[in-house]
Structure 1
Amino acid sequence: MNNNNSQERAVVTVLGSDKVGIVAKVTATLAEHNANIIDISQTLLDDLFTMIMLVEVSDLTNGFENLNEELEAIGNDLEVKIMLQHEKVFRYMHRI
């Protein structure tokens, strides 16, 4: 954990056609990078899969950009859109 007890958090969003393995591959990748899932929500509308996760990224093993690139590559393989954004950027962009 960070020495100053503050958490650096990010939002992971996934959108695309439903298929086997989306949750498994995304969550395994987060675990490999030492990103802790704080909250997760997913919805299936017909065959449209949506997932949003709040993750703690203070102690990433290979850095934020490396995780982002790996998630994008997984998205390409699964033919879904995966985005990783710092929480503050996400909140500003979406005015939550």
Structure 2
Amino acid sequence: MKKSIITVVGKDKVGIIAKVCTYLAESHINILDISQTLVQDFFNMMMIVDIKDMEKPFETTVEELNELGKEIGVNIRIQHEEIFNQMHRI
């Protein structure tokens, strides 16, 4: 298993989860865990995903998720699990 962390943050609107999950399914990225919250009108989602079956380069996925985020008005970020853990060490 090769894990990555995806975060999605922005103003809430209909279809955010559907569009992100559709992209992941089409990219052969499996969602292992997902947490989603709303604070007033702000949407926040964090996913742990398995990218071992992903067929395109990681950098391409980063760019495509960034573009998808722009299209739907949110910020989407994906990081390898190791990098995410190092950035959030205390």
| Unaligned 5+ runs, structure 1 | 1-6
Aligned residues: 90
After superposition, residues 45-84 of structure 1 pair within 5 angstroms as 45-84=39-78
Compute the displacement of 1:63 (Å): 2.2
Q: 2:36 aligns with which of 36, 39, 42?
A: 42
Identity %: 49
Note the residue ranges of structure 2 that are not aligned, 5 or more in a row: none
Residues 36-70 of structure 1: per-residue CA shift (max 9 Å, x gap): 00000000000000000000001102121121111
Cα distance in 1 for partners of 2:18, 2:59 equals 21
Helix, strand or coil for the counterpart of 2:63?
helix
User: Helix, strand or coil for the counterpart of 1:67?
Assistant: helix
Question: Separation in 2 of the partners of 1:93 and 1:17?
Answer: 25
CA distance in 1, matches of 2:37, 2:43: 6
State which of 25, 30, 33 in structure 1 corresponds to 2:27.
33
> Matches of residues 81-92 of structure 1 in structure 2 within 5 Å?
81-92=75-86
With normalisation by structure 2, the TM-score equals 0.95
Aligned runs of 1:3-42 on 2, under 5 Å?
Answer: 7-42=1-36
The structure whose Rg is larger is 1
Residue aligned with 2:54, SS: coil
Local SS of the residue matching 2:71: helix
